[in-house]
Amino acid sequence: MPKTLDLNKIKLLEKQPVIANNPKFESYVAVLKEAATLEIRMTLEEKKMLEQIFNVAVEEKSSEQAEPEEYLTVRDVAKLLGISPQMVRRHCANNNIVSWRTAGEKGEWRIDIDQYRSNPSYSKRLETVLDQVRNRKERKQNLISAVKELPQTNGYTEMLDDINARHKGNDTD
C-alpha cells in the first residue's frame, strides 16, 4: 500500500511557486490533497479493505509480466521432491535446478516444469502438484474477478457514502 499521505506536506507543496504557476502540478496537488483528506476520513477497517484491494492489483500487475506459461514455485518443488523449501532454494542458487528469479537477486524463484515432466519417477507426484497449482491459480483469478467487480456492488458504494457522510458530519461540528 502506498505510504500515508501527509496533508501538511501537501499544503506546503501547494505553496511552492513552481506548483502555483503550473496548471498540471496544481491539478496533481489537488488530487493528492483530496486523497489525503479521504484517507483521514477512513476507518481502520476501510483502510485494511483498501490495502487488500491494492495488494491484489499489485499481484495482478506483477503476474502480467512475461513469464513462461507453466512454472513451479519453491513450495511446489519442495512437495514434489520431498525436501524442504530452503533446500529447493539452495539447489536453485547452485544451478542444480533449472530456475530463474522474478526480480533479479531479490525475487522469488520460478522453476522450469519441463525438467520434471521428462522424468517418469516424478510423473504421479507432478500431476498432484499441478492440480494444486491449477486450484491455486483458479482461486487467485476468482479473487481478482471479485475485486474488479467490487465497485459495482452496493456495499462498496455504501461504504464510500458512509465515509462522505461521516466527513460531512465532522465538518458541521
Query: CA–CA separation, 133 vs 127, rounded Å?
Result: 10
Query: CA–CA separation, 97 vs 80, rounded Å?
Result: 13
Output the pLDDT for position 90: 95
Output the pLDDT for position 1: 42
- Cell 502480467 found at: 64
- The 10s digit of each residue's pLDDT in 72-130 is 999 999 999 999 999 999 999 999 999 998 877 778 999 988 888 877 878 788 888 88
Domain ranges of the chain: 1-41, 42-172
Output the pLDDT for position 8: 72
Q: Which pLDDT band holds residue 51 (cuts at 50, 70, 90)?
A: confident
What average pLDDT is seen over the chain?
A: 77
Is the Cβ–Cβ distance between 111 and 99 less than 8 Å? yes
Answer whether 0.75 is exceeded by the pTM.
no
